[in-house]
Amino acid sequence: MKLPVDPERLRARFPALDERDLAAYVEVTQRVLADPAHKGRRMAEVLAEGRKARTKPPHTLTEEESLALRYLTAVEKMQG
């Protein structure tokens, strides 16, 4: 699946992004775009899950919560 923005382009434009940030961007974006009819709602859910995960101790996060938190962190780095 083609991503809206190539990860290498993001890396060049936002040097603060690390490998984990880019991996989260790729995984979440692919999941969201796989269901075009619900992409807005799904993206809102991921961001909400990331904010909620931020309030929990890291060792208690599920894999999905951890992914959502990494994605949220990447978005924040891109927003400056």
CA distance 39 to 16: 26
What percentage of the chain exceeds 90 in pLDDT?
Answer: 96
The per-residue pLDDT for range 54-73, each reduced to its tens digit, is 999 999 999 999 999 999 99
**Directed axis angle between helix 39-53 and helix 63-79, to 10°?**
100
Dihedral sign from CA coordinates of 74, 25, 78, 48: negative
The per-residue pLDDT for range 4-47, each reduced to its tens digit, is 999 999 999 999 999 999 999 999 999 999 999 999 999 999 99
- Spans of all domains in the chain: 7-79
Whole-number pLDDT of residue 54: 97
Question: What is the pTM (predicted TM-score) of this model?
Answer: 0.92
DSSP structure string for 50-76:
HHHHTTS-GGG--HHHHHHHHHHHHHH
- Cβ 68 vs Cβ 25: under 8 Å: no
Residue 1 binned pLDDT confidence (cut-offs 50, 70, 90): confident
